[in-house]
Structure 1
Amino acid sequence: MAKILVIRFSALGDVAMTIPVIASFANKFPEHQITILSRSSFSPLLDISLPCNVKLKGVDLKSNYKGIKGITKLYKELKNEHFDFVADLHDVLRSKYLRFLFWLNGYKTAHIDKDRKGKKELARAKGKKLVQLKSSFERYQDVFKKLGFEFDLSFESIMTDTIRARFLNSEAYQKRENERWIGIAPFAAHRGKIYPIEKQEEVIRQLSQDSNIHIFLFGGGQLEKQILNKWETMGGNITSMAGKLSLDKEVLFMNKLDVMISMDSGNMHLASLVNTPVVSIWGATHPFAGFMGWNQPYSNAIQIDMQCRPCSIFGNKPCIYGDYRCMSSIPEKMIVEKVNSIIYK
């Protein structure tokens, strides 16, 4: 039996992308024990997603393990667990230093190759190399291969009969016969990844005209809740889910959707984990960077070809034109037609 420490501190979408890989690894090697080093807040998601030979060690890097002293303290605690391998799926300053301490003391370590050169060429202003890069799933898998573990990515969904019985049988929302459920997650961390709110509202208006459709809105912070609550008043078949479910139940609820409309954001990855089709909307970023949802077809990615796209890998750069035309140029009709082609196929 081997003990493997897997490091991936954040963010939610990136942690969600580790799940198909870690689950595939854990199922292939049930005799090994895997410990994921990440945020404690991700525990509900990881608990329902991973086999019994995987556990989470939650850490708070802003208080208990802050700075070099904090990471050194964390290392001293972790070394007492006698890991055999360290897989760094993050490769940022904190994880690099922690990995270095393990390596310095004789542990076998490996880390993700983020292909920064390839991503820079993909997003540069002139002379872009618009080619498909490796997915994050493949990059995570490569880290384990460097440690000597060969396995296929066999993950399909976190849904099992046990999970269904545990979380969904008592769910208050019940689908009527012939009713289609559409999820809409209209927000993202950066403006370059957000479809204009007024255009998204029009998408909701058009879809809600169909009496066989029920729309569920997903979002977090206070401003987002205000927008979703406003949209909820547009029709009796529109429901805001903001603040109504815990993270694990929200993810499992997504399994009941016929389709999810999402930005290039964490919700795209959460819906993908329960095998729900996702119509993803792309602006400043591009699927070629390797961040598509698990098993999501490129045919469901909504985007407009422009010479300036992609201008950013993470969507955090300001638009050079100031109007984010990569998003505002996407017709509402394109999204509505793609959704209808999925739910009425």
Structure 2
Amino acid sequence: MKKVRVLVTRFSAMGDVAMVASLLRELQAQHRGLEIVMVSRLHFAAFFEDIPNLIFHPIFPEEQHKGPKGLWRLFQELKKYKIDYVADLHNNIRSKILTLFFKTAGYRLAILDKGRQHKKDLIRRRNKVFTPLRPTIERYADVFRSLGFSIKLDNKLKKKDRPIPLNYAGILPLFEKNIGVAPFAQHPYKVWKLDNWEQVFRSFPRYRFFIFGGGRQEQETAANWSQHFANVHSTIGSSLGVQGELNLISHLDLMMSMDSSGMHMASLVGSRCLSIWGATHPYAGFLGYGQSIQDCIQVEHPNRPSSIYGNKSCLCDGVEAIDMVTPEMVISKLKQATR
């Protein structure tokens, strides 16, 4: 009996791809005979490594898969998998071109509805419609439902045994609690003032804080924290890799993150996450799968949210929304969460 094979596309961003992995785990658990071909950037392959019956096919959008000709080349590569359905979970220019090739060739497909108008209504200044939108992961699931696959999402964190990275096995037992911190984000309006984190570190000398994420500049910041605080350890620039980061996060007592990929990585390994929100808002549908809105640290203000992705300023009484979150608020929330 021929197995059903679905092609899934989601090329970026990191948090969105991690959320797709959370969905595909649920999908596979409910349709064990289903085979999946996942197309995304090579850097994200680790998100999908433990999903059964899944083939990861990398896209190189700046190299051999660049432009329409490159996407045609990718289409020819993907046809070899003899897929039955195409699930476009991105709905951007690249995925639309690729999907058009499959549609022209007669494949059955479904495309993500991003709910753009509802999102515009949520972030506009005048006559803002401040209501929770459909969670993004449910929108992903809707794509598969339209292809005929039933799927029920319970929105619960699920722990799975993962190995402790070798260099960390002896570190974790040394402190009362082990806390992950992902303090960086792509857009500045989603980043809590870095000085604030120093107050958090000082307030919990018996907790070990592991810093995740970021490039060279962020690596320098994290290294500086490690030098000044005995209870701070930077993982940035280490040999962990994405798979190692996921393994480590799964063994921590708690994760702390901005509205960023750190939250979605925590969801992926079943770890609770406290998240800090500024210009964006959980109502936009990007709260991590299985995470609680009660664990979102934010200031309610009629100007929020001003942005879906955090790329626009959100002034609240002349202050950026993210700057209205005080160290005391975060410290209090962390105390409650680790009692």
TM-score when normalising by structure 2? 0.94
Give the aligned partner of residue 145 of structure 1.
145
2:30 to 28, 34, 49: 28
Structure 1 residue 169: deviation in Å? 6.7
Question: Match for 1:195: what amino acid?
Answer: W
- Distance in 1, matches of 2:303 and 2:288, equals 23
- Give per-residue Cα distances to partners, 1:72-99, cap 9 Å, x unaligned: 1211222232211000000001101111
1:205–1:40 distance in 2 versus 1, CA, 3 Å: same
Question: Match for 2:128: what amino acid?
Answer: K
Query: Is the partner of 1:176 in helix, strand or coil?
Result: helix
The yes-or-no answer on 1:289 pairing with 2:284 is yes
Question: Match for 1:95: what amino acid?
Answer: S
Question: Match for 2:320: what amino acid?
Answer: R
- Asked if the contact 2:42/2:59 (under 8 Å) is kept, the reply is yes
Question: Match for 2:245: what amino acid?
Answer: E
Query: Is the partner of 2:149 in helix, strand or coil?
Result: coil
- Give per-residue Cα distances to partners, 1:74-129, cap 9 Å, x unaligned: 11222232211000000001101111111111110001110000000001111111
2:224 to 230, 238, 248: 230
- Which runs of at least 4 in structure 1 moved beyond 6 Å after TM superposition? none
- Asked if the contact 1:285/1:311 (under 8 Å) is kept, the reply is yes
- Distance in 2, matches of 1:12 and 1:246, equals 14
Give the number of equivalent residue pairs: 336
- Distance in 1, matches of 2:18 and 2:95, equals 18
Give the aligned partner of residue 183 of structure 1.
180
Give the aligned partner of residue 9 of structure 2.
7
Give the aligned partner of residue 243 of structure 2.
248
- Distance in 2, matches of 1:67 and 1:206, equals 51
1:103–1:74 distance in 2 versus 1, CA, 3 Å: same
- Asked if the contact 1:205/1:234 (under 8 Å) is kept, the reply is no
- Distance in 1, matches of 2:150 and 2:111, equals 16
1:248–1:286 distance in 2 versus 1, CA, 3 Å: same
- Distance in 2, matches of 1:158 and 1:298, equals 17
Alignment gaps of 5+ in structure 1: none
User: 5 Å matches for 1:263-302?
Assistant: 263-302=258-297
1:19 to 18, 21, 24: 21
Give the aligned partner of residue 306 of structure 1.
301
Structure 1 residue 335: deviation in Å? 0.5
Query: Is the partner of 1:153 in helix, strand or coil?
Result: coil
- Asked if the contact 1:254/1:276 (under 8 Å) is kept, the reply is yes
- Asked if the contact 2:21/2:47 (under 8 Å) is kept, the reply is no
Of 126-135 and 319-328, more deviation after overlay is shown by 319-328
- Distance in 2, matches of 1:286 and 1:104, equals 39
- Distance in 2, matches of 1:343 and 1:33, equals 40
- Distance in 2, matches of 1:67 and 1:323, equals 43
Give the aligned partner of residue 204 of structure 2.
207
The yes-or-no answer on 1:318 pairing with 2:313 is yes
Question: Match for 1:223: what amino acid?
Answer: Q
- Give per-residue Cα distances to partners, 1:11-67, cap 9 Å, x unaligned: 11100001121111122222221000111111122213x12x011001101110111
RMSD of equivalent CA atoms: 2.0
- Distance in 1, matches of 2:318 and 2:204, equals 26
Give the aligned partner of residue 210 of structure 2.
216
- Distance in 2, matches of 1:199 and 1:119, equals 30
Query: Is the partner of 2:228 in helix, strand or coil?
Result: coil
The yes-or-no answer on 1:59 pairing with 2:53 is no
- Asked if the contact 1:24/1:155 (under 8 Å) is kept, the reply is no
- Give per-residue Cα distances to partners, 1:121-164, cap 9 Å, x unaligned: 00111111110001111001000000001022268667534x33
- Give per-residue Cα distances to partners, 1:190-243, cap 9 Å, x unaligned: 0110001122222222233xx3x1111112211101111111123222211112
Give the aligned partner of residue 73 of structure 1.
73
1:38–1:178 distance in 2 versus 1, CA, 3 Å: closer
TM-score when normalising by structure 1? 0.92
Question: Match for 2:226: what amino acid?
Answer: E
- Distance in 2, matches of 1:118 and 1:337, equals 34
Question: Match for 1:175: what amino acid?
Answer: L
Query: Is the partner of 2:49 in helix, strand or coil?
Result: helix
1:255–1:197 distance in 2 versus 1, CA, 3 Å: same
1:294–1:321 distance in 2 versus 1, CA, 3 Å: closer
- Asked if the contact 2:39/2:56 (under 8 Å) is kept, the reply is yes
Question: Match for 1:122: what amino acid?
Answer: L
User: 5 Å matches for 1:85-100?
Assistant: 85-100=85-100
